[in-house]
Chains A and B, each alone.
Chain A
Amino acid sequence: MHIQEEISERHVLSLTVSNEAGILARIAGLFTARGYNIDSLTVADITPDHAISRITIVTSGPPKVIDQIMAQLDRLVPVHKVTDLTENGPFVERELALVKVAGTGEDRIEALRLADVFRAKVVDTTIESFIFEITGTTDKIDNFIGLMRQIGLVEVGRTGVVGLIRGKEPN
């Protein structure tokens, strides 16, 4: 007997939730309990009174599973609203990464040249290294890191994706 797997698609979900103890565990636990994927998850409070947080989740699954994820998230008591940005598009998504690269001579110059192309910013430097700050889509950051790997990538920190619907209306 073999276990079959279904084709999945990537979706960016945006949630507003009450900023209370355990909310992140509630959401992350729902994903593990029901066998859903989390590619990235970001969270921060977004109102002046710190009462509401926005959580952005990048997940993947077949369309039916994505619908289930939406419904399951929506029925958690502290969840205010769930939006599938991918479905409700067009939307803006951004991720920030810090990329540490070490090297000397020609490698150092090439690193700076590529950073310029990707509009990455130098936020730390020594004689033998840089830390670049880069924002963009996940793809753009993947590409930048891929190039830096060939030059002398030391390590990477990434925030995961945040996103908002385009236009003047809220999600």
Chain B
Amino acid sequence: MAEKSGADILVECLIDLGVEVVFGYPGGAVLPIYDALFNHPKIRHVLVRHEQGATHMAEGYARSTGKPGVVLVTSGPGATNAVTGITDALMDSIPMVVITGQVPTHLIGTDAFQEADTVGITRHCTKHNYLVKSPNKLASVVHEAFHIATTGRPGPVVIDIPKNVQIATAPYSKPERFEHASYRPQTKADPAAIATAVEMLAAAERPIFYTGGGVINSGPEASELLREIAALTGAPVTSTLMGLGAFPASSGQWLGMLGMHGTYEANWAMNKADLIVCVGARFDDRVTGRLDAFSPDSKKIHIDIDRSSINKTVDVDLPIIADVASALTDMIALWKDRGHKAADLSEWWARIEGWRARNCLAYPDSHEEIMPQEAIAQLYKASRTAKDVIITTEVGQHQMWAAQHFGFDAPNKWLTSGGLGTMGYGFPAAIGAQLGNPDSLVVCVAGDASIQMNIQEMGTASQYRLPVKIFILNNEYMGMVRQWQELTYESRYSNSYSDSLPDFVKLAEAYGWTGIRIEGPQELEAGIRQMIDTPGPVIVDCRVAKLSNCFPMIPSGAAHTDMLLDPSQVEGIMSDEAKALV
């Protein structure tokens, strides 16, 4: 068999694995791979402006298409710049493969130019990583890396390839299907656990589905199954930030998001439920609030593909280790098989309606200033005319307002950094999503502070003619930091004012984009319309009320029932125990 160079083997593998887009940035230690990609007919390389941007683009691409995102960066600074995005993908379980160049094997360990211990640095922020020391091993490693990244609980995998391994040759043939020696994620649930779960669900008087990103990761079928089991049981459904869209916001059974900035009805229903069915969520601290007061009287069923999520923070009564779609399929089949009918939950629903009547997402009206919540509501309304809308966000108040006021009816349409909370995620994620969904309207809802964390990627969108829209809720503050300082530190706004902001409209023009400024409520609707109707990329600088806070809010260390609904409930000081929590 004719031998190929390591670089050519890598590219062959990517083609065999169905990779269409690679997000990357060249440098000394990956030049052989870049040469193999030169004018490549099948693999589209997207040149980013900073390696962190590449990782978030890959995440956005992966989250919106269900395919793994692929990143290619050089050694040393290329790899270290990618670390934030890799960690973000680990926390949010996003399938991603990151290929890093490395100095040649004989220079490893000598502090060579642009050498960094990439496998050492990324060992604990990847699902798995590899240093490939021979071209003979490259093909099997690449195929294994994609298998690991995309199966079980998805996550990022790093492949570090020294430059001499890219140049040295080896025979290549597409690897046959293989069985990994030790990695075998459990996807099929224990039938006994399924049977117990079905009986618990049938017997429950106050059940609730608490769903998360695992439903999205399990594929569109899982979202369909969630809708089906919700319809069969009549139980209310709430979701984490990561799970939005898996269950339609337009459904009467939808309670909205739960947790720190979740709805009153979702959090109270969790608190008073007698059965929580956790589907692909992980009892994160943003969701549970004070642990000893979290849903004290409920039995808890936890469906998760990752055994380490079970009993990590909250003890559950029935763990089900499985892929969400597989577990729900089994539960629905058994539910029907045993002839269960939806129980009479009218009393439970009456209580829920009582909580709903608090209208917790209401916000004060203003004729002088744009309320940020109103801006999101108008964006939602206007974007319904588009045939497909994908929303990404940065991290902060705007992210929570988008989660609260934008309704998602389908999975893979909401891309946000949940676990790591990475400012600078949203805009590159929007670019990745637009590449994967060329006909969709992709809008990055941003804050004035977080948009600046990867704003250099405007050049990438221009270069590839990507019509992404950036919708900045500009309050001239790091709003969430300012809100916490107001709540916890008697409004001492230490370093949370966004001084020296750029003129975003002029910035847009400098990159060949369209810039729109919206300054008052009377301009809001038309400004948003103009953004949507503009064919190319647009920045909207939407000037919103500067001191608005995001409510409802469960302060750190408080219980679901200690929710703050409006500013009048804020005291401005907190105990040291509460201050110590994030």
**Inter-subunit contact A72/B308 (CB<8 Å):** yes
**Inter-subunit contact A26/B182 (CB<8 Å):** no
Contacting residues, chain A, for B315 (C-beta < 8 A): 64
**Inter-subunit contact A29/B124 (CB<8 Å):** yes
Contacting residues, chain A, for B577 (C-beta < 8 A): 1
**Inter-subunit contact B124/A74 (CB<8 Å):** no
Identity of the chain A residue whose Cβ is nearest the Cβ of B181 in the assembled complex: A18
Chain B 342-382 interface mask (CB, 8 Å, partner A; 1/0) = 00000000000000000000000000000000000000000
Known interface pairs A25-B123, A33-B124; A78-B182 also in contact (CB < 8 Å)? yes
Q: How far is the CB of A67 from chain B (nearest CB, A)?
A: 6
Q: How far is the CB of B546 from chain A (nearest CB, A)?
A: 33
Contacting residues, chain B, for A64 (C-beta < 8 A): 311, 315
**Inter-subunit contact B148/A67 (CB<8 Å):** no
Contacting residues, chain B, for A17 (C-beta < 8 A): 182
Q: How far is the CB of A110 from chain B (nearest CB, A)?
A: 49
**Inter-subunit contact B311/A1 (CB<8 Å):** no
Q: How far is the CA of A138 from the CA of B306 in the complex (A)?
A: 34
Q: How far is the CB of B381 from chain A (nearest CB, A)?
A: 43
Q: How far is the CB of B288 from chain A (nearest CB, A)?
A: 15
Identity of the chain A residue whose Cβ is nearest the Cβ of B153 in the assembled complex: A75
**Inter-subunit contact B120/A25 (CB<8 Å):** yes
Identity of the chain A residue whose Cβ is nearest the Cβ of B129 in the assembled complex: A22
Known interface pairs A25-B123, A30-B124; A75-B576 also in contact (CB < 8 Å)? no
Say if the beta carbon of B307 comes within 8 Å of chain A: yes
Q: How far is the CA of A74 from the CA of B152 in the complex (A)?
A: 13
Q: Which one, A30, A33, A71, A80, contacts B182 given CB within 8 A?
A: A80
Contacting residues, chain A, for B124 (C-beta < 8 A): 29-30, 33
Q: How far is the CB of B140 from chain A (nearest CB, A)?
A: 13
Known interface pairs A22-B123, A25-B120; A77-B310 also in contact (CB < 8 Å)? no
Q: How far is the CA of A74 from the CA of B153 in the complex (A)?
A: 13
**Inter-subunit contact A1/B182 (CB<8 Å):** no
Contacting residues, chain B, for A25 (C-beta < 8 A): 120, 123
**Inter-subunit contact A68/B312 (CB<8 Å):** yes
Contacting residues, chain A, for B181 (C-beta < 8 A): 18, 51, 80
Q: How far is the CA of A75 from the CA of B577 in the complex (A)?
A: 33
Known interface pairs A18-B182, A77-B148; A71-B310 also in contact (CB < 8 Å)? yes
Chain A interface category by residue count: 20 to 34
Q: How far is the CA of A120 from the CA of B287 in the complex (A)?
A: 57
**Inter-subunit contact A29/B123 (CB<8 Å):** yes
Residues in A1-41 with C-beta less than 8 Å from chain B: 1, 17-18, 21-22, 25-26, 29-30, 33
Known interface pairs A18-B182, A77-B127, A78-B182; A71-B307 also in contact (CB < 8 Å)? yes
Contacting residues, chain A, for B299 (C-beta < 8 A): none
Say if the beta carbon of A79 comes within 8 Å of chain B: yes
Known interface pairs A68-B311, A77-B182; A21-B123 also in contact (CB < 8 Å)? no
Contacting residues, chain A, for B183 (C-beta < 8 A): 77
Say if the beta carbon of B119 comes within 8 Å of chain A: yes
Q: How far is the CB of A133 from chain B (nearest CB, A)?
A: 35
Determine the main DSSP class of B at the interface with A.
loop
**Inter-subunit contact B182/A68 (CB<8 Å):** no
Q: How far is the CA of A33 from the CA of B124 in the complex (A)?
A: 8
Chain B 522-554 interface mask (CB, 8 Å, partner A; 1/0) = 000000000000000000000000000000000
Say if the beta carbon of B159 comes within 8 Å of chain A: no
Q: How far is the CA of A1 from the CA of B310 in the complex (A)?
A: 30
Q: Which one, B119, B120, B307, contacts A74 given CB within 8 A?
A: B307
Contacting residues, chain A, for B308 (C-beta < 8 A): 68, 71-72, 74-75
Identity of the chain A residue whose Cβ is nearest the Cβ of B127 in the assembled complex: A77
Q: How far is the CA of A22 from the CA of B124 in the complex (A)?
A: 12
Say if the beta carbon of B131 comes within 8 Å of chain A: yes
Contacting residues, chain A, for B153 (C-beta < 8 A): 75
**Inter-subunit contact B182/A79 (CB<8 Å):** yes
Known interface pairs A71-B307, A75-B307, A80-B181; A26-B123 also in contact (CB < 8 Å)? yes
Identity of the chain B residue whose Cβ is nearest the Cβ of A32 in the assembled complex: B124
Identity of the chain B residue whose Cβ is nearest the Cβ of A69 in the assembled complex: B308
Contacting residues, chain B, for A77 (C-beta < 8 A): 127-128, 148, 180, 182-183
Say if the beta carbon of B582 comes within 8 Å of chain A: no
Chain B 278-320 interface mask (CB, 8 Å, partner A; 1/0) = 0000000000000000000000000000111011100100000
Contacting residues, chain A, for B307 (C-beta < 8 A): 71, 74-75
Q: How far is the CA of A1 from the CA of B307 in the complex (A)?
A: 34
Say if the beta carbon of B192 comes within 8 Å of chain A: no
Identity of the chain B residue whose Cβ is nearest the Cβ of A33 in the assembled complex: B124
**Inter-subunit contact A21/B182 (CB<8 Å):** no
Residues in A61-104 with C-beta less than 8 Å from chain B: 64, 67-68, 71-72, 74-80
Say if the beta carbon of B580 comes within 8 Å of chain A: yes
Q: How far is the CB of B300 from chain A (nearest CB, A)?
A: 15
Q: How far is the CB of A66 from chain B (nearest CB, A)?
A: 11
Q: How far is the CA of A1 from the CA of B312 in the complex (A)?
A: 25
The listed residue with most A CB atoms (<10 A of its CB), out of B183, B306, B576, is B183
Identity of the chain A residue whose Cβ is nearest the Cβ of B131 in the assembled complex: A21
Q: How far is the CB of A6 from chain B (nearest CB, A)?
A: 14
Identity of the chain A residue whose Cβ is nearest the Cβ of B579 in the assembled complex: A1
Contacting residues, chain A, for B180 (C-beta < 8 A): 77
**Inter-subunit contact A1/B576 (CB<8 Å):** yes
Residues in B99-133 with C-beta less than 8 Å from chain A: 119-120, 123-124, 127-128, 131
Q: How far is the CB of A33 from chain B (nearest CB, A)?
A: 5
> Top 9 nearest A-B pairs by Cβ distance?
A71-B308, A1-B576, A77-B128, A80-B182, A71-B307, A77-B183, A72-B308, A33-B124, A29-B124
Can you list 6 A-B pairs with a CB-CB distance of less than 8 A? A1-B577, A22-B123, A64-B311, A68-B312, A71-B307, A77-B180
Q: Which residues from chain B sit less than 8 Å from chain A, CB to CB?
A: 119-120, 123-124, 127-128, 131, 148, 153, 180-183, 306-308, 310-312, 315, 576-577, 580
- 19 A-B pairs besides A25-B123, A74-B308, A75-B307 with CB distance below 8 A are A1-B577, A1-B580, A18-B181, A25-B120, A26-B123, A29-B123, A29-B124, A30-B124, A33-B124, A64-B311, A68-B311, A71-B308, A72-B308, A77-B180, A77-B182, A77-B183, A78-B128, A80-B181, A80-B182
